[in-house]
Structure 1
Amino acid sequence: MSGRNLRMPVIAALCLVTFGAYFTLKDCGFVNYDDYKYVIDNYNIQGGLTLDGVLWALKTSYFSYWHPLTWISHMADISLYGLNPHGHHLSSLLIHVGAVTAVFLFLNYATGRLWQSALVAALFALHPINVESVAWVSERKNVLCALFWFITAAAYVYYARGPAFSRYVIVLLCYLFALMSKPMAVTLPVMMLILDYWPLARVRGNGKMNGLLVLEKLPFFVLSALSSALTIYGQAKNEAVASLTESSLWFRLSSAALSYMTYLGKAFWPTALCVFYPYKEISSPWPVVLSAAALVVITGAAVWIRKTQPYVLAGWLWFLVTLVPVLQFVQTSAAPVADRYAYIPFAGIFIIVSWGIFDFFKNNRTIIPVFAAALLLPLALLTYRQTGYWRDTGTLFKHAIDVTENNFLAYNLYGTHLLSTGETDGAIEQFTRALRILPDYPALNFNMWSALIIKGKKAEAAPYFEKSLPYWAVEGESSVFKLGLSYLRQKNYDTAVEFFLKVLVINQQNKLIYKYIGMALMGLHRYEDALAYIDKGLEASADNWELYFQKGLVLKEMGRREDAVLNFKEAQRLAPHSQNPGPNIETMLKSVQTQ
């Protein structure tokens, strides 16, 4: 069979092994690390794929990014699956499979090498470092960006083989789609210049020709600059950018050198992978010096052998360049390294490995399939296992605790998971461990305060409440209300009252909270107190039908039937038809009137 006839069987095999490696994704749910903000509690996408939703996606920088295609993909999932996590995971996996296919077709088209391209695509499909991008619903932006990244690369090869304005426009549109998925694509114009060197061989000794190649990329660099500016603005607006006084230039450069070598280590020895890697204290300059020296030596070696193995220099530059946006030179993250950041950059390493294997065994090609299988099988098994850690929040962060040290985020989120499942003592233990690392972190102090309040240890909780005040100002109201509602549903009325009263402290304009305070006090049979709070709510919001309805329920329990009827009738008069509360009110009216 010719190489062209083998493309479809190769693509089918790549899809099959990818689905097999990610088979445990079917058991995975959402996690409490960004998934709630991106999907579950994001009311902007809850209506599914609508015109209003698309317009919001095009305008918003919610969550510090402008990536409208990502939001639109989440809206489409809501339309297809609702909040069933299995559907959302399936979409991410299908996009990953699409990216794997695009990697193969791009390299095969650019180089004419079928099996080298297939091996690169297989490494991209099966390397366990990519599990985070595929299995984390919030990282839809990463797989979507990669899909359009490799489609853009393929379109660029198509243009370079026969330059024409229509082909140029196609490349520009594909690049725009990549940027609209995630700003990680800002380095793609530089990558086009690297592709001009290898495999397209458009770079010549003629300086004028090379200048034209740079000029040709100018519109792409403009789009890249605009995307970078939007991202930095969004991060700064959300106070996510650290100043040089908080994080020195030396620290950032040192961390970058160490991060490069950490990524290289994970490329060839992908163990102890997890969702979050905290910064480590740089207590000695020697690891930094050795890392920087290693980068210089590897780069020098790649330049030295460029005439005989140009793919080494191209692949190495691919790796170096595409990691630049996530090396925290503009520090926006508490993580110096993240598995998701390697999703596109590692393709450069895979090119070096794949073409290198075929060069090394060029005199004995029969051994290559055996060698490739021996390389891919362990990766597939590691990916299968790594995917299982994304089953739920508890599994994910328990694993992170097991494979890292001083992981304050893992302690915190594992603790919140334990708190949500009623394991309050275990949660307190995790929050204590995290607070040893970051004693003044507001969110941690808030979580510790919550846990101690649940245990009834109000005196012990008080200091944590004071330290958590900045968190209350940003996210406290929503978090506290959800905790109160959770305990109301569990009929833990005392604790529910504590949380609802804290909501009132945070936001005195929240008139509806009086209803929930009344419900919790009703559960405690404190009817007079319940009435007092509901009346306070009605003083500030006299047209709130829910407060009248709740007052009617309290009066009914107190045996004051006539007063209850009056309040139910007022609720019925004020109730908006769109919320359709009428039948419940009518039922209560009939119930009271027939007593």
Structure 2
Amino acid sequence: MTSSPIHSRNGTALAAAVLLVLVTAGTYLNSLPNKFINYDDPIYVFSNPHVTGGFTWDNIRWAFTSLDHFWHPVTWLSIMLDWQLFGAQPWGHHLVSVLLHTASALMLFEFLRRTTGAVWRSFFAAAFFGVHPLHVESVVWAAERKDVLSGFFFMLTLIAYARFARGFRVQGSGSEGPGAMDEGRELSQTGRGGWTGPTRGVIWYLSSLLFFALGLMSKSMVVTVPVILLLLDFWPLKRVQSPSTYAKASADKKSKVQSAEPTAPEREFRVQSSKFKVQGSSSSPDPRPSTLGPRRSSWSVVGGLFLEKIPFFVLSALMSGLTIVAQNQTGALQTAARLPMVYRVENAVLSYAEYLWQTVWPTRLAVFYSYPKFFPVWLVLGLTVAGCAFTAAVLWWARRRPWLAVGWGWYLITLLPVIGIVQVGSQAHADRYTYLPLIGIFIAVVWEVAELGFQGSGFRVQNLRGVRAEESGSDTPTLRRSHALTLLGVAALCCYIWLTWCQVGYWRDSEKLFGHALQVQPNNEVAHVNMGTALETKAQSLAQASARARDPQERKALSDQAAQLENQAAQHFQDAVQAQPSFAVAHCDLAAAYLRRHRTEPAIYHAQKALDLNYTGAHRILGAAYGEAGNLEKAIYHLRLAVQLAHTTEQLAEAHHNLGYALWQKGLTNEAKAEFQEEKRLQTGPRDH
């Protein structure tokens, strides 16, 4: 008994989905032994008292009201849940991120398969998303849970929207006026029970809006979703059609439904009739409906689709405003005086090109990329001209090769919030910013390469959505070309899997991660600071071990190792200040290094410098330095501010201790006891990871 083509195709899709899950999850198994790192993980995970405090009403309220850098309550709740389940074990946090990323890759495959009918093209696009080395930072960095979580809801938004769009099309004009919604191919029309067509459409529309809201509450970068949905209306959803073209297509579909009674699985993927139909390329013109329809109705169609997205645009506008307020409140927004607009635009142009190059050749990746000292004018102008020319070309080809226009537009638009025009932070660009934008590049490349492989074929088979489902084997050169391109795609995937596996290994711990970053960019100020911090932490552990050692020789050896590491850490802080004199954190850490050597004068100088650069964390170091210098009034003043402004449990405990000691020296015994008791309470939680 032979299986039908539809059943065979569903089996192929299932096999591709299983393979995608195994490849994506398997590539990131190397991340489970990784530790937390000292860059943002203390603030987001193991040293945040609201996270380590678990699910309490106070912590949940804090998640929805805190504007610390971003407003992302769903991300906070996710990290709280991880801590509730796994505590201070990093592998559990990494496992959840890997599962979210794998689920997103699977949903991307399902979305593309459902909307285009092309199983293996969808597989390759989703697989490149799943295993590309540029996505390592988003997946294995615990503090970047917001990336994979927002990506998860982003995919759910697309799937729900595609289900909504299946049942409703927007016409350019007609009896109900421009932009009217017309019920299209809906399951209830073929006799299936459940909601009616309009009700089902509303449910899917509201679901899409809800998932989008959850995505925004995970990371504000998904604010571009409304524009992406408009692109998807053009292709692959093909909702932009003229009334005449749409009426003809609807009549054809209706007659086919009445002439054949397909089973439920066959309604998902139909191929021109109940059986495959092979058409010669030299026969009648391509029966696929026009993507845009007559020019006279295009603008009214787009207007109707835009009106449909108004709730999405409203949510995007609200989140954009809230994000700017939060960033401005914490001082993360770079002013025009510190970073001129011309400089930002030049960096944006180079970043667009850099991301594309790293997509093709993803080596020498780092956790942080410093701003270059200058931008070659000839390079900026050349890339601008090339980018504009390519954009014009894909728009010119939009009717015949819509995937190029949609993929390129996806890439350009989704990068806009983080391209640096509104600069947040001091990085020139970041790997994590490519998490969603590169999907557009993967779609455009995979579909275009597949088309090149099929060019010259004498026969073709089309599925219901007008996309070639299979190719005949009569054209041997074309078959060889398609096989060669498939092997090339498999080889590229294998290379990316290996590079991703290696890149994940660099995230084993802070020392290895920032040591690699310094190999990539020796004058990397952030890498110097975090490398110094990692060495300081290691030195403190050795000093504690030295204090516990009973053998005098062992005690001396451990003490010497600790002193050597402290010297290396101080040198890294000094290198960071030299690389970027306006880097406040480097000044603060250098001040702390001087203070540990009891050199109060340079400690006060660098701590005050950090404070002048609007780094509030410097109050803790400046207060301790003044206390050691004997200026108790200033010490108490700065340490009280440090208690109010501390970001982590460790910083808060240290501030309470130093404040208590300063109060005790001043004779305020009762107040000092209260500070020491608070320090003891905070120290009962986890500290070292």
Give the structure-2-normalised TM-score. 0.71
Paired position in structure 2 for 1:87 = 92
Post-superposition offset of 1:197? 0.8
Paired position in structure 2 for 1:354 = 446
Q: 1:187 aligns with which of 202, 219, 224?
A: 224
Paired position in structure 2 for 1:159 = 164
Query: Could you tell me how far apart the structure 2 residues matched to 1:407 and 1:548 are?
Result: 38
Q: 2:392 aligns with which of 281, 300, 306?
A: 300
1:216 and 2:308 are equivalent in the alignment: yes
Paired position in structure 1 for 2:336 = 244
1:384 and 2:501 are equivalent in the alignment: yes
Query: Could you tell me how far apart the structure 2 residues matched to 1:111 and 1:215 are?
Result: 25
Post-superposition offset of 1:133? 0.1
How many pairs does the alignment contain?
A: 531
1:444 and 2:450 are equivalent in the alignment: no
Summarize deviations over 1:262-293 as a string: whole Å, max 9, x none: 11111111111111011113343111101101
- The structure richer in helix per residue is 1
CA distance change for structure 1 residues 451 and 266 in 2, over 3 Å: closer, same or farther? same
Paired position in structure 2 for 1:76 = 81
Query: Could you tell me how far apart the structure 1 residues matched to 2:13 and 2:146 are?
Result: 28
Query: Could you tell me how far apart the structure 2 residues matched to 1:296 and 1:438 are?
Result: 34
Paired position in structure 2 for 1:45 = 51
CA distance change for structure 1 residues 475 and 351 in 2, over 3 Å: closer, same or farther? same
Farther-moved stretch of structure 1 (365-374 vs 71-80): 365-374
CA distance change for structure 1 residues 514 and 214 in 2, over 3 Å: closer, same or farther? closer
- One-letter code aligned to 2:227: V
CA distance change for structure 1 residues 350 and 476 in 2, over 3 Å: closer, same or farther? same
Query: Could you tell me how far apart the structure 2 residues matched to 1:7 and 1:27 are?
Result: 33
Give the structure-1-normalised TM-score. 0.82
RMSD, aligned α-carbons: 3.3
Aligned residues of 2:332 and 2:424 also touching (Cα < 8 A): yes
Farther-moved stretch of structure 1 (283-292 vs 463-472): 463-472
Q: 1:253 aligns with which of 318, 329, 345?
A: 345
Paired residues for 1:360-399 under 5 Å: 360-362=452-454, 363-364=478-479, 365-399=482-516
Query: Could you tell me how far apart the structure 2 residues matched to 1:342 and 1:149 are?
Result: 14
Post-superposition offset of 1:430? 1.3
Paired position in structure 2 for 1:142 = 147
1:58 and 2:95 are equivalent in the alignment: no
1:537 and 2:668 are equivalent in the alignment: yes
Paired position in structure 2 for 1:291 = 383
What residue ranges of structure 2 are gaps of 5+ in the alignment?
Answer: 1-6, 169-200, 242-293, 455-477, 540-564, 644-651, 685-689
Post-superposition offset of 1:499? 12
1:103 and 2:220 are equivalent in the alignment: no
Summarize deviations over 1:49-84 as a string: whole Å, max 9, x none: 33433332222222x211111011001001101121
CA distance change for structure 1 residues 508 and 360 in 2, over 3 Å: closer, same or farther? closer
Aligned to 2:667, the other structure's residue is in SS state helix
Q: 2:135 aligns with which of 123, 126, 130?
A: 130
Aligned residues of 1:472 and 1:506 also touching (Cα < 8 A): no
Paired position in structure 2 for 1:588 = none
Query: Could you tell me how far apart the structure 2 residues matched to 1:397 and 1:504 are?
Result: 35
Q: 1:506 aligns with which of 635, 638, 649?
A: 638
- One-letter code aligned to 2:570: I
- One-letter code aligned to 2:11: N
Query: Could you tell me how far apart the structure 1 residues matched to 2:683 and 2:639 are?
Result: 25
Post-superposition offset of 1:498? 8.3
Query: Could you tell me how far apart the structure 2 residues matched to 1:335 and 1:514 are?
Result: 30
What residue ranges of structure 1 are gaps of 5+ in the alignment?
Answer: 485-495, 521-529, 551-575, 581-595
- One-letter code aligned to 2:638: I
Summarize deviations over 1:392-443 as a string: whole Å, max 9, x none: 1111111111012421111111112112222111112212221112234332
CA distance change for structure 1 residues 512 and 114 in 2, over 3 Å: closer, same or farther? closer
Q: 2:39 aligns with which of 30, 33, 36?
A: 33
Aligned to 2:240, the other structure's residue is in SS state coil
Post-superposition offset of 1:157? 0.9
Q: 1:268 aligns with which of 337, 341, 360?
A: 360
Paired position in structure 2 for 1:7 = 13
Paired position in structure 2 for 1:475 = 617
Query: Could you tell me how far apart the structure 2 residues matched to 1:297 and 1:208 are?
Result: 28
Paired residues for 1:547-558 under 5 Å: none
Post-superposition offset of 1:249? 2.3
- One-letter code aligned to 2:56: T
Query: Could you tell me how far apart the structure 2 residues matched to 1:203 and 1:514 are?
Result: 61
CA distance change for structure 1 residues 88 and 545 in 2, over 3 Å: closer, same or farther? closer
Paired position in structure 2 for 1:403 = 520
Post-superposition offset of 1:533? 3.2
Summarize deviations over 1:203-233 as a string: whole Å, max 9, x none: 2341322211111111110111001011011
Query: Could you tell me how far apart the structure 2 residues matched to 1:155 and 1:499 are?
Result: 65
Aligned to 1:421, the other structure's residue is in SS state helix
Query: Could you tell me how far apart the structure 2 residues matched to 1:199 and 1:61 are?
Result: 38
Paired position in structure 2 for 1:584 = none
Post-superposition offset of 1:472? 9.4
Farther-moved stretch of structure 1 (249-258 vs 34-43): 249-258
Aligned residues of 2:514 and 2:530 also touching (Cα < 8 A): yes
Aligned residues of 1:514 and 1:547 also touching (Cα < 8 A): no
Query: Could you tell me how far apart the structure 2 residues matched to 1:384 and 1:48 are?
Result: 33
Query: Could you tell me how far apart the structure 2 residues matched to 1:278 and 1:266 are?
Result: 16
Aligned residues of 1:512 and 1:547 also touching (Cα < 8 A): no
Post-superposition offset of 1:161? 0.7
Paired position in structure 2 for 1:572 = none
Aligned to 1:40, the other structure's residue is in SS state coil
Post-superposition offset of 1:11? 2.0
Post-superposition offset of 1:294? 1.3
Paired residues for 1:558-577 under 5 Å: none
CA distance change for structure 1 residues 233 and 369 in 2, over 3 Å: closer, same or farther? same
Q: 2:322 aligns with which of 184, 205, 230?
A: 230
Post-superposition offset of 1:470? 4.2
Paired position in structure 1 for 2:27 = 21
Paired position in structure 1 for 2:176 = none
Summarize deviations over 1:92-147 as a string: whole Å, max 9, x none: 11111111111111111111111000001110011000000001111100111111
Q: 2:533 aligns with which of 416, 419, 429?
A: 416
- One-letter code aligned to 1:328: G
- One-letter code aligned to 1:376: L
Post-superposition offset of 1:473? 6.8
Aligned residues of 2:584 and 2:615 also touching (Cα < 8 A): no
Query: Could you tell me how far apart the structure 2 residues matched to 1:462 and 1:45 are?
Result: 33
CA distance change for structure 1 residues 167 and 45 in 2, over 3 Å: closer, same or farther? same
Query: Could you tell me how far apart the structure 2 residues matched to 1:518 and 1:297 are?
Result: 62
Paired position in structure 2 for 1:593 = none
CA distance change for structure 1 residues 211 and 471 in 2, over 3 Å: closer, same or farther? closer
CA distance change for structure 1 residues 215 and 82 in 2, over 3 Å: closer, same or farther? same
- Give identity over the alignment, percent: 35
Query: Could you tell me how far apart the structure 1 residues matched to 2:380 and 2:683 are?
Result: 61
Aligned residues of 2:653 and 2:683 also touching (Cα < 8 A): no
Query: Could you tell me how far apart the structure 2 residues matched to 1:67 and 1:320 are?
Result: 24
- One-letter code aligned to 2:583: Y
Farther-moved stretch of structure 1 (126-135 vs 465-474): 465-474
Question: Comparing both chains, which one has the higher relative contact order based on Cα–Cα distances under 8 Å and sequence gaps of 6 or more?
Answer: 2
Paired position in structure 1 for 2:606 = 464
Paired position in structure 2 for 1:203 = 240
Summarize deviations over 1:142-177 as a string: whole Å, max 9, x none: 111111111111111111111322221111111111
Aligned to 2:32, the other structure's residue is in SS state helix
